[in-house]
A and B are shown apart, each in its own frame.
Chain A
Amino acid sequence: MDQTRAPIFEALQQTKSNRVVPFDVPGHKRGKGNKELTNFLGEQCMSVDVNSMKPLDNLCHPVSVIKEAEELAAEAFGAKQVFFMVNGTTSAVQSMILSVCKQGDKIIMPRNVHRSVINALILCGAIPVYVNPEVNHELGISLGMSMAKVEKAILDNKDAKAIFVNNPTYYGICSNLKAITELAHQYGMVVLADEAHGTHFYFGDDMPISAMAAGADMSSVSMHKSGGSLTQSSFLLVGERMNPGHIRQVINLMQTTSASYLLLSSLDISRKNLALYGKEIFARVVQMANYARAEINKIGDYYAYSRELLNGDSIYDFDMTKLSVHTLNVGLAGIEVYDILRDEYDIQIELGDIGNILAYLSVGDRPRDLERLVSALSEIRRRYKRARTGMLSQEYITPLLVLPPEEAFYAPKVSLLIEDTLGCICTEYVMCYPPGIPILAPGERITSEILEYIQYAKSKGCFLTGTEDLQVARLNVTKGV
């Protein structure tokens, strides 16, 4: 196929040049009805914010330009079928799970998943079988799943419908996806991958293996992260063994019927860009990340890690575009460095957690901006360095799952002050955002370790989310337990 084509983009241009008089939605009528918004976003942008119509196809039932665009994307990603998603990668993750699991089905997954994964379990009533990820105690980050634990989980739960794998984690760490896939397939399980942070695996050289290349059955890919499309746009990739028709039906259960053509065309154009130039783009990103790592490691105390961590199992591979830096030896929590960078140096990074920061690098970065980041880190160390005493290093807390997430979420509940919830079963989430990986998820027992962690994260300035109480002072727990 001709990857220089972008059918949705081309159809939009054609439609625009036809100067059709709009007596349909959206009511802003190419921006004329909302001057302030048009001044802000630009006429060009408003003029292509249009509704589904014959020449532009329909996302819920594509037969022309969207179908062609999906076929081009499928070829570019080596998938049997690609679905364009406009409700975020969250909707892709949920569609994957809802298309293979129903009430009571088991799904094997690591616990360090994004909240959207557990949300899907609340929606469909599937039961998680958690594989505890390995933990690097020095860095305080959760890693991938070890093969031995995956194998045990599969053998202990041969009736499980699917296995879910992060490829990679937020920090860039990959499990042995190919081996996991082969084993899961032997036992008739479907393999689902969360590649929210892995778009570039499909295009760059010397990258960790992609889900489709590893033979996985479905993958959710955040094109809007390393792929360059607009926020909220995403791809759901489908492998050879699946029935795309059924998956489309599941997607249509929850997807908008007014899909934004701004998002769709951004996916189309970004796919074209990646197919044509992805290799060079990501070579440049890796080169910048490697440079920044070397410079940061020269400062002292900071540790910007990379492939030297590989251990053939729970760190089977590492995504070199990720600039993750361990900060505890400077005497600062990652979230503290994150805050100082923004408040005092006007530098916004992707996340800071208890022990690490993550700077997200992309094709849009310039070497001189990296110099600012490195210099600011050097200055922060000079000004703030202190002993590491009393610093919690973020260790993975093994969850005690008492009830399936769906049952807990809908159970009769009471709201208690967090400090009074020891031993209760939580019915909602508590997480730091980012990364959005739950500390507590519905159905889990609240332990003193978890309460201590929440207290510490709060004191360091982490942005806690997930609870009904926006102050995160109270927690919903099941009644009478």
Chain B
Amino acid sequence: MDLWFTEWHTPNVRFSIRVDKQLFSGQSEFQRIDVFESREFGRILILDGYLMLTEKDEFIYHEMMVHVPMAVHPTAKKVLIIGAGDGGVVRELTRYDTVEWIDLVEIDELVTKVCKEFLPQTSCALDDERVHAHYEDGLKFIRHCEEEYDLILVDSTDPFGPGEGLFTREFYGNCYKALKEDGIMVNQNESPFYNNDAVAMQNAHKRIKESFPISRVYQAHIPTYPSGHWLFGFASKKYHPIRDFKAEEWKQRKIQTRYYNTQLHIGAFALPNYVEARLKNVE
């Protein structure tokens, strides 16, 4: 059988994965949700036709989103996760026994239900007793929070569709307000490579820079995302991602990771010149 899932990375570039079978297809109030089984990447989650994660490479994204800020702010106890109904970020975060409370705000409850059923590899920690799930608009949830969180992780989809409110200045400003005085926000910051993605990256960076005194960008390579080169934003009120990096402390925790390590932590903030230039352009 010759069945392929294809995503258009640009109007002129397509990325395809051979599909073995479809496990789920459904329409929620917000989006279409599909889960496929594939030989090369294991199970893959698709929202509105866009690839969100594959079992083979999701560890890169989730490790980089969680361990980078946790190694800078090891005493973080109260964490807010926005988006991330697949549970990957929660899984990484629950490996820290010092984290006491996790609020998970996902707009689409069906995403979580589907992931619990079909993607146990990512959703395995969603039932951890520290996790408190709220199914509502992240922008609305955060409006009512003030100096509450040590860490906010923004695991958004793209800046169009249900996730578009999570790329706005009002959202980042509200995140600033919701963080404690030494809080950190990490967000998925799109890709610098293809033009449309790069514009989204610049907009997000510009809006974050306007809202936080410290705003840096770091990278990872994620094979199934457009161009494979992906960025994260690190924004904080107080801690610098490298000067305040507590490498030894993190090592002592003995958390086993497949992508993240303490040298890579520093290296990830060293960006290619063209990316630096694009970021500078909007600062």
A residues neighboring B (CB under 8 Å): 295, 344-346, 367-368, 371-372, 374-376, 378-379, 382-383
Contact = CB atoms under 8 A, between A and B. Distances in A.
Contact of A345 (B142, B143, B164, B169): B169
A368 B143 contact: no
Contacts of A383: 173
B165 A372 contact: yes
B168 A374 contact: no
Contact of B170 (A295, A367, A376): A376
For the complex of A and B, the 6 pairs showing the least CB-CB separation, nearest first, are A375-B170, A376-B170, A379-B173, A371-B139, A379-B170, A371-B140
B22 to A, nearest CB: 29
Interface size class for chain B? 10 to 19
A376 B170 CA distance: 5
A375 B177 contact: no
Interface string B124-140: 00000000000001011
Contacts of A345: 168-170
B54 interface: no
Nearest to B171: A375
Given A346-B168, A376-B169, 7 more contacts: A368-B164, A368-B165, A371-B140, A372-B139, A372-B170, A378-B170, A379-B170
B228 interface: no
B122 interface: no
25 contacts: A344-B210, A345-B168, A346-B169, A368-B137, A368-B139, A368-B165, A371-B137, A371-B139, A371-B140, A372-B139, A372-B170, A374-B140, A374-B143, A375-B140, A375-B165, A375-B170, A375-B171, A375-B174, A376-B168, A376-B169, A376-B170, A378-B174, A379-B169, A379-B173, A379-B177
B267 interface: no
Contacts of B140: 295, 371, 374-375
Given A344-B169, A368-B137, A375 B162 contact: no
Contacts of A295: 140, 143
Q: Is the interface of B mostly helix, strand, loop or mixed?
A: helix
A298 to B, nearest CB: 8
Contacts of A344: 169, 210
Most buried by A among B164, B170, B174, B210: B170
Nearest to A344: B169
A459 to B, nearest CB: 25
B137 A378 contact: no
Contacts of B177: 379, 382
Contacts of A346: 168-169
Contacts of B210: 344
Contacts of B164: 368
A339 to B, nearest CB: 14
B267 to A, nearest CB: 34
A368 B167 CA distance: 13
A345 B206 CA distance: 12
B143 A378 contact: yes
Most buried by B among A295, A344, A367, A368: A368
Interface string B154-178: 0000000010110011110110010
A139 B173 CA distance: 28
A383 B211 CA distance: 10
A374 B143 CA distance: 9
Contacts of B162: 368
Contacts of A367: 137
